[in-house]
């Protein structure tokens, strides 16, 4: 019995010696000890003390483990907090680490963690794109960008920038779809976003089209709300101002149109836009040109619909029905109408 007690006492002494040998008395060592035991609150306490310790605050190791511990705390406690202070502190700690000597051994691990944290910021930004939270979304996206650039200063974020700005502009533009419309401040904000997109990607069809529509609607709203009892001088001033706005819309709508022609995917909305802009500019000839092109597309759509209807009736064995005969006659009329429209349009293009 005494022998067993002696052996146990010896083991305890040896264990205490090993602990004393491998766990230093400095705050960083104590923090790492608690981190290995998954006692993150204690690890956080001592890693924070390390950042104010004159012997530890300038070492890359201190700031790496601070970033790591705060990242683990974020995953454990604030994963659903889209403005998580723990995540922010983690990123700031890694940012500090990357400025210090001795960072090389931590670079690979740091890059992986920062990419993970950046992905959470991007996802949170996307989820926050609503009228109430969009400013926080913008902040999160900006932090996503800066975090990715910490990983790689040459990282190409253009496609992400365009995607986010398009989504933001679309969300901000929703009041335009209601009777309330857009106020001047919001309209300016959305125009600025589309111009930023075009500075990155001048051939972005959506940005060109939507910017043109914003300008056109601005001019159209002035005309629709104009007091026609005003004196002639004031009336001329308002009309001149509207023409200036329509001229701002025109190049963006034409650009959208040219991009669609190259892709052979014309949108009726773009043709309607060009038709209306030229009408607002009192250029009736060009307005009619785009109206005719619009009519061609609409007639082609009608022909396609009729062909589908006729095919469906044939499959049902209704070729001898009166309805089939009426539809067939209507189809021939539309095909003749389409041919006439196309011929006139070709003549105008030659001119």
On the question of pLDDT at 207 being above 90, the answer is yes
On the question of pLDDT at 83 being above 60, the answer is yes
pLDDT, tens digit (0-9, with 9 covering 90-100), for 160-183: 999 999 999 999 998 655 555 678
Give the side-chain half-sphere CA count within 13 A for 238. Answer: 17
Task: Please state the domain extents for the chain.
Answer: 23-155, 181-282
Burial of residue 278, with CB atoms counted within 10 A of its CB: 0-12 exposed, 13-18 middle, 19 or more buried: buried
Give the SS3 label for residue 350. Answer: helix
User: What does pLDDT average to over the chain?
Assistant: 88
Please state which of the ranges 61-65, 234-238, 347-351 shows the lowest mean pLDDT. Answer: 347-351
pLDDT, tens digit (0-9, with 9 covering 90-100), for 292-344: 989 988 888 888 998 898 899 888 888 888 888 888 888 889 888 888 888 87
What pLDDT, on a 0 to 100 scale, did the predictor assign at position 345? 73
Q: What mean pLDDT is predicted for residues 259-263?
A: 73
On the question of pLDDT at 19 being above 60, the answer is no
**pTM of the model as a whole:** 0.81
Highest mean pLDDT pick, 10-19, 54-63, 304-313 = 54-63
How is domain 181-282 classified at the architecture level of CATH?
Alpha Horseshoe (1.25)
* E strand or H helix that includes residue 342: helix 322-350
Q: What mean pLDDT is predicted for residues 186-191?
A: 94
What is the dotted CATH code of the domain comprising 23-155?
A: 1.25.40
On the question of pLDDT at 244 being above 50, the answer is yes
Q: Do domains 23-155 and 181-282 have the same CATH topology?
A: yes
């Amino acid at each position: 019995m005494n022998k067993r007690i002696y052996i146990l006492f010896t083991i305890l002494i040896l264990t205490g010696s090993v602990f004393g040998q491998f766990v230093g008395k400095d705050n960083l060592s104590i923090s790492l000890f608690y981190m290995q035991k998954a006692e993150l609150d204690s690890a956080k306490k001592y890693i924070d003390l390390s950042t104010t310790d004159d012997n530890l605050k300038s070492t890359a190791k201190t700031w790496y483990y601070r970033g790591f511990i705060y990242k683990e705390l974020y995953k454990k406690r604030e994963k659903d907090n889209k403005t998580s202070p723990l995540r922010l502190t983690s990123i700031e700690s890694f940012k500090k680490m990357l400025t210090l000597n001795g960072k090389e051994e931590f670079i690979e691990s740091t890059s992986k963690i920062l990419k993970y944290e950046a992905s959470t910021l991007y996802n949170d930004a996307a989820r926050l794109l609503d009228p109430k939270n969009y400013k926080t979304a913008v902040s999160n996206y900006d932090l996503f960008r800066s975090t990715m650039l910490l990983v790689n200063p040459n990282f190409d974020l253009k496609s992400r920038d365009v995607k986010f700005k398009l989504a933001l502009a679309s969300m901000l533009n929703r009041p335009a779809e209601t009777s309330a419309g857009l106020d001047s401040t919001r309209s300016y904000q959305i125009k600025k976003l589309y111009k930023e997109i075009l500075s990155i990607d001048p051939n972005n069809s959506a940005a060109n089209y939507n910017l043109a529509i914003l300008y056109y609607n601005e001019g159209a709203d002035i005309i629709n709300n104009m007091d026609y009892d005003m004196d002639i001088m004031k009336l001329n001033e308002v009309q001149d101002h509207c023409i200036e706005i329509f001229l701002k819309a025109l190049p963006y709508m034409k650009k959208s149109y040219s991009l669609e022609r190259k892709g052979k995917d014309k949108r009726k909305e773009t043709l309607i836009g060009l038709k209306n802009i030229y009408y607002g500019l009192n250029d009736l000839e060009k307005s009619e040109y785009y109206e005719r092109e619009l009519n061609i597309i609409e007639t082609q759509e009608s022909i396609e619909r009729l062909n589908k209807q006729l095919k469906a009736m044939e499959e049902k064995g209704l070729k001898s029905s009166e309805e089939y005969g009426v539809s067939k006659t209507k189809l021939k009329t539309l095909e003749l109408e389409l041919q006439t429209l196309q011929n006139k349009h070709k003549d105008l293009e030659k001119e």
